[in-house]
Amino acid sequence: MADLILGLETSCDETAAAVISSDGEVQSNVISSQAELHARYGGVVPEVASRRHLELVEPVVAEALSQAGVGLSEIEMVAVTQGPGLVGALLVGLSYAKGLCWATGTRLVPVDHLDGHVASLFLGPEQVEPPFLCLLASGGHTLLGLVPERGTFEFIGGTLDDAAGEAFDKGARLLGLGYPGGPALDRLAQGGNASARAFPVARVDGLDFSFSGVKTALLYAVRELGEEQLDSARADLAASYQHAIVSALLQRVEQAVDQTGMETVAVVGGVAANSALRAGLEHLGARTAPLSLCTDNGAMIASAARYAPNVARAGYLAVDAYPSR
Ligand code: KG4
Ligand code: ZN
């Protein structure tokens, strides 16, 4: 078997670990979501997330190794998310990974979370080969870039305010859908009429995005309706709001294809799990990772480690987490 890589991801509210082989085959991919724990607060509470990672990291890694049918001694490389993310949460994964490397003499490879999302495309039997145009849409980021080769990302556009996932989450909250909002809004929208309301899609220059306006428009729509009417309008609002966000993403992707002449388009990050976006992308012939690899996971981190810069063995204990890029 090709060399095995253990990937560890704890940047937000998923404690995740995976084993992949160096040719990109996923041997195991274990994700323990803390969503229920944070639901009562309406969003991720950083300190609560860190404490939960501390409890979960060991059993999640053990489960990933067990599902892959391997022991720690067979792992060639430990990959871990270094940033961006919640710094306390990141430190749990990073410290745990350092401990593993200290105990076993395995090499530590710190990985950027965003490179991880892009590297989700280099897993499994249908890997996307560069060069391609890549949209990364997650809870914290919305970026357009060119990927001329594996391990690179040349930025060509991004959001000026909220990330697309953040817009989904905040919209869901306004509609009383709780946390995590994106998937709940997606489900509700499936029973609604996307043309019931025309939410504005902000026009900004170049290949950038802006999602704060559409969120404000939803806020006003919700206020205008009041509690009673909101109940019957909720699904239509969700579908129309989702349509506005998805159209903005698709328009930019099409524009970027025109400008760059790129023939292959790929979309990564949690928002790539959105059903309306996936339908629109299919129409464009764009590629997406399987659903289990779109939202945060350890396999994408292990995948990115194959293209990450080397850290000298002697220096790995000094590697620190970073909250933003
Ligand atoms: O990539 P990810 O798991 O974590 C970050 O790196 O942020 O992305 C999480 C984001 C959240 O904002 C979540 O609401 C959104 O992705 N998301 C979705 C869907 N599934 C996850 N948004 C819309 N529709 C979905 N089905
Ligand atoms: Zn992510």
Decide if pLDDT at 285 tops 70: yes
The partner residues of 109 in beta bridges, in order of sequence, read 79
| Pair of tokens at residue 79 | 């990959």
| Cα 256 to ligand 1 centre (Å) | 23
Which of 85, 98, 76 minimizes the C-alpha distance to 23?
76
How far apart are alpha carbons 97 and 110 in whole angstroms?
A: 9
Q: CA dist 278 to 103, 263, 322, Å?
A: 43, 18, 31
Q: For residue 182, give the ligand nearest its CA.
A: 1
Mean pLDDT across 53-72? 98
Decide if pLDDT at 65 tops 70: yes
Nearest CA, atom 16, ligand 1? 270
What local confidence, expressed as pLDDT, does residue 179 receive? Answer: 85
| Cα 232 to ligand 1 centre (Å) | 26
Neighbours of 293 (CB within 10 A): 24
- Tens digit of pLDDT for each residue in 295-312? 999 999 999 999 998 776
| Cα 141 to ligand 1 centre (Å) | 10
Q: For residue 268, give the ligand nearest its CA.
A: 1
Neighbours of 262 (CB within 10 A): 18
Q: For residue 279, give the ligand nearest its CA.
A: 1
What local confidence, expressed as pLDDT, does residue 42 receive? Answer: 86
| Pair of tokens at residue 36 | 């229920």
Decide if pLDDT at 95 tops 80: yes
| Pair of tokens at residue 241 | 């709001």
Percentage of the chain with pLDDT > 90?
A: 90
- Tens digit of pLDDT for each residue in 116-126? 999 999 999 99
- Tens digit of pLDDT for each residue in 15-46? 999 999 999 999 999 999 998 899 888 889 99
pLDDT band at residue 1 using 50, 70 and 90 as cut-offs: low
Mean pLDDT across 259-283? 96
| Cα 104 to ligand 1 centre (Å) | 35
Mean pLDDT across 47-66? 98
- Tens digit of pLDDT for each residue in 164-211? 999 999 999 999 998 889 999 999 999 999 999 999 887 898 999 999
The answer to whether the pTM exceeds 0.75 is yes
The partner residues of 18 in beta bridges, in order of sequence, read 7, 29
